[in-house]
Amino acid sequence: MSAVNDTKFTPAVFLLTGIPGQEDIHLWFSVLFCFMYAISIVGNSVILFIKKTDPILHEPMYIFLSMLAITDLGLLIATMPTILGLFLFNSREISLDACFAQMFFIHSLQIIESSLLLLMAFDCFLAICNMLRYASILILPRIAKMGLVFVLRAVAVIFQLPFLLKRFRFFSANILSHSYCLHQDVMKLVCSDITVNNIYGLFLTVITVGLDSLFIFLFYVMILKAVLSITSPTTCFRALNTCLSHLCAVLLLCMPEFSLSVMHRFWKSSSPCFKLSWATSTCWFLL
């Protein structure tokens, strides 16, 4: 009897979700996603190529930018198989282990991306507020160590999540809300009390993306304070323009991911289409 129950509650696959009610035009959405993936791959590859071939760009801010491009390419590779498989071939099934592997890579890369945005904010802070010590602080060995620390942090934080989920049993109807696997989405399909996992997952989001966002905000407060103290309008505008693109990238990349995580845990009454729109927008920002 226990074997039968295990077979009933522990599924071999999860079912991915496209756009509810619009299955007949999924092929057109696949064209859109293919176009977006192509632009993202070409754009990030061009950034890496220019960074490698131009000696002038071998500076900390460009090193951080190339690391961010590599992370974006990793997110493309992590999400592309299931998204294109669903919209091109209507392949909705994904095995338990494949789903957990995709979940691990997506969340790890998101945390690494958040950490890189923090490093870029730190770079802007040093360049504007402590220019004399900039070259002595951001040396290549130190940059490599900081990058390694943030990669190890992401892996250490996310590594246990698939194992925590794998020990649970799941409902028989295991339909995910998105076309890729997220921890907060898979967690809702568990046939047990997930209060501890829910709190733990939110805690991880707060101490990684949330904490990074807080430090980024503090860095920019200090940058703004330093810029406003500059008497020359031209120099002030140039300093603001230097960090404006990075600030926009922070808002576009961090806010959708953090909002989606909170919405999954507390906004139980939101419609599937609304959740899907948030998930799709998050995916677009990851691209």
CB–CB of 64/142 below 8 Å? no
Q: How many domains does the chain have?
A: 1
- Reduced to 3 states (helix: H, G, I; strand: E, B; else coil), residue 170 is strand
**Percentage with pLDDT > 90 across the chain:** 13
Domain range spanning residue 276?
2-286
Q: By C-alpha distance, which of 117, 81, 124 is closest to 226?
A: 124
Where does the pLDDT of residue 286 fall: very low under 50, low under 70, confident under 90, or very high at 90 and above? very low
pTM of the complete model: 0.81
Q: Which of 89-93, 163-167, 185-189, 240-244 has the lowest mean pLDDT?
A: 240-244
Cα–Cα distance measured from residue 160 to residue 204, given in angstroms and rounded to the nearest whole number: 11
DSSP code at position 190: B
Tens-digit pLDDT profile for residues 18-44: 776 666 777 787 888 888 888 888 988
Cα–Cα distance measured from residue 110 to residue 115, given in angstroms and rounded to the nearest whole number: 9
Tens-digit pLDDT profile for residues 222-270: 888 887 777 677 767 776 776 776 677 666 666 655 555 555 555 544 4
* Greater pLDDT, 229 or 120: 120
CATH number for the domain spanning 150: value is: 1.20.1070.10
Residue 257 Cα distances to 3, 74, 201, 206, angstroms = 39, 16, 13, 12
- Residue 192: predicted pLDDT: 76
Mean pLDDT of the chain: 78
Whether the per-residue pLDDT at 203 is higher than 70: the answer is yes
DSSP code at position 93: E
Tens-digit pLDDT profile for residues 57-107: 778 888 888 898 899 899 889 988 898 888 888 888 888 889 999 999 999
Cα–Cα distance measured from residue 57 to residue 62, given in angstroms and rounded to the nearest whole number: 6
Determine the residue type at 87. Answer: F
- Residue 270: predicted pLDDT: 47
